[in-house]
Structure 1
């Protein structure tokens, strides 16, 4: 056999083998089910909660400062040398407790002098009264001139007036002596002593205060309310005869608002430059933990209770300038739903529009799924403490998620 014929036979054999193999592959592909050829993607595991309605009161949050109900600058009412300080800096004192002592000796001497003057005036008044009685008996017998009787009456009146003046001088001297013991006018917490023992202090409103004293049993929280909230919630003209406006207070290191108070006063004019009005609420402070000047977080309630939808904030996504949630239907497919947000309430967010009670939404795993995806839902309560994922993060920004 020649070489050309051998090559031709070999090519025919190879062609036959290739054709046979291709046919086998095509047959195998034809016998393979479509599901095996293209496996369906696995469902995304997410946490899902059912939306429900709750009875709420609308709350408005404000920032303010604590103020003392009573704040007193302790100043001396008499001059003299400071001889004693009777308190520790920052201590709590009761009304009537002695705070400072000014050298009382000069004022005690003044009391004694006033007492002597009063005794002399009373002696003089007794003598003139006796002379007047004698003159009146003589006048009855026409044994004394009318002029002499008038002089005796005038002397008796002058002596009586001098007794009154001496009594007033003694009262003033005793009062000044009392002022040498400076006492607390109210109960509260005392500041530090600005003047120490041995210094001479002067009386008067323009002098340096010896210390300051603030009351502690109750305390004010002052905050500014916008015009709309004032008209709706705290306007005294509308609040007259109604229920008191509930006010709650929380400090800077607290998560909630642990103290409840009431609105104590509303200013008499609106500040036109800021569009706000000053409001003061009063709170009990028997434990003394609230100090004037501390930052206060104020929550002001108003309006009648109403039904509202509240959801966890982690369920809320951001699509440019819109807010949305992913609703899960009966087939466990997600759908885009735009919502309008309200205020925060008890750690949740009020949904004013866009959701209905009974619907299910994705509350954890929002970043792992998109509208139209099939999910594997795990039902959890609409309560952020029960969710197993990390703490709530700020609203996520997802662009172009609409189909």
Structure 2
């Protein structure tokens, strides 16, 4: 074998190896030796209002256990269970015949005592005319005056008994103390009920509903400081939004109307109440609800996607693509989370922040940024293709 014939196979083998190396560098997963690609989005400045979320329970402003105020036999139930009733409408009737008889007896007693008062007053008047001729002694005058005062006192007692008897007749007709929705009737006609026992039914008001929730001590202190600094709106004007467990978002709007005067030391929280209109009857007392409470007045802030924030030992940072596509670590102060965007301090609006590919970006190293499309809030749109990457340098393009 000649020297030329041996050199040909070696040359072919070297060409194959070089081709294989070239395919490995330029194939999938490789970057042809260039900077790694990352997805970036511009930091956005927009109007921000902070919110806090709580879990609440709905309660009716008025909840009344309807009880009998007189003892007797239930004659009739005058409502349908679950019915909406107005204040003063009849609910139950108790046999009032005995109470009406007491009224007649008290009326007769009052009439008799009125006669005694009139007689005692006439006797005293006649005796006082005879005093001038010494026909009546002073002792007799005193006795007649005492008799008149006694008759008048007895009349007042009889009149009070008459009032009580008439009230018993009125109490025998049990009416709705407030407007609202009734519960089930716990007694049926024919049952004997006592004074206050048992509960005949329960009535809850329905024109509005309260949402009670507990705010932590830290949240309460933050709100109080913001109020002192003028960074929040007045309590009665605070917009409160609510959503039920089967609803998306917070479709109902109410207002804050009560904050308790002390914190519960066992839970380090304070009770807060919001009120919502319920004229449509869509809210039932006892339901759980989600509450969204405005935590501050509106202000302009710079926001970035929350996933762009990372941790460098003990500080929060974002990676910003600077001049010449060099990665710059930027310490930030995270603020409120609003619609998936985090309010931050330390980043200027318009700066490109790395959102995806954080593990491929190193401070001081170059990257290939791909600008993502964002919505009107500054949030990258899922599934939207990134914009075109910056053009490569002319020297690199010519290779």
Give the corresponding residue for 1:222: 212
Distance change (3 Å), C-alpha of 1:138 and 1:29: closer
Give the corresponding residue for 2:293: 300
How far 1:276 sits from its partner (Å)? Answer: 1.7
Distance 1:37 1:101 in 2: 94
| Aligned-CA RMSD value | 4.2
User: What secondary structure is seen at the aligned counterpart in 2 of 1:213?
Assistant: strand
Q: How does 1:3-402 map to 2 (within 5 A)?
A: 11-12=1-2, 16=4, 19=7, 39=26, 49-204=41-196, 207-234=197-224, 243-244=234-235, 246=238, 247-313=240-306, 341-345=334-338, 347-353=339-345, 355-361=347-353, 366=356, 370-371=360-361, 374=368, 376-381=370-375, 383=377, 387-389=381-383
Query: How many aligned residue pairs are there?
Result: 371
Q: Give 5+ residue unaligned stretches, structure 2.
A: 385-399
User: What secondary structure is seen at the aligned counterpart in 1 of 2:375?
Assistant: coil
Distance 2:245 2:80 in 1: 28
TM-score of the two chains, using structure 2 as the length reference: 0.75
How far 1:355 sits from its partner (Å)? Answer: 3.9
Distance change (3 Å), C-alpha of 1:84 and 1:344: farther
C-alpha contact 1:334 1:374 (8 A) present in aligned 2: no
Distance change (3 Å), C-alpha of 1:95 and 1:45: farther
User: What secondary structure is seen at the aligned counterpart in 1 of 2:65?
Assistant: strand
Distance 1:299 1:216 in 2: 23
C-alpha contact 1:308 1:350 (8 A) present in aligned 2: no
User: What secondary structure is seen at the aligned counterpart in 2 of 1:115?
Assistant: helix
User: What secondary structure is seen at the aligned counterpart in 2 of 1:387?
Assistant: coil
How far 1:326 sits from its partner (Å)? Answer: 6.6
Point out the more displaced range, 301-310 or 327-336: 327-336
User: What secondary structure is seen at the aligned counterpart in 2 of 1:212?
Assistant: strand
How far 1:179 sits from its partner (Å)? Answer: 0.7
Deviations 1:215-266 (A, max 9, x none): 2223322222222222231589959997226233332223323334443333
How far 1:275 sits from its partner (Å)? Answer: 1.9
Distance 2:11 2:284 in 1: 91
Q: Which structure has the greater CA radius of gyration?
A: 1
Distance change (3 Å), C-alpha of 1:171 and 1:303: same
Distance change (3 Å), C-alpha of 1:314 and 1:239: closer
Distance change (3 Å), C-alpha of 1:330 and 1:258: farther
Deviations 1:336-355 (A, max 9, x none): 8776644332x223232464
C-alpha contact 1:49 1:379 (8 A) present in aligned 2: yes
Distance 1:277 1:22 in 2: 85
Point out the more displaced range, 115-124 or 269-278: 269-278
Deviations 1:334-383 (A, max 9, x none): 888776644332x22323246431134566xx379943663654523255
Distance 2:139 2:294 in 1: 84
Distance change (3 Å), C-alpha of 1:327 and 1:93: farther
Distance 1:166 1:28 in 2: 126
Distance change (3 Å), C-alpha of 1:236 and 1:269: farther
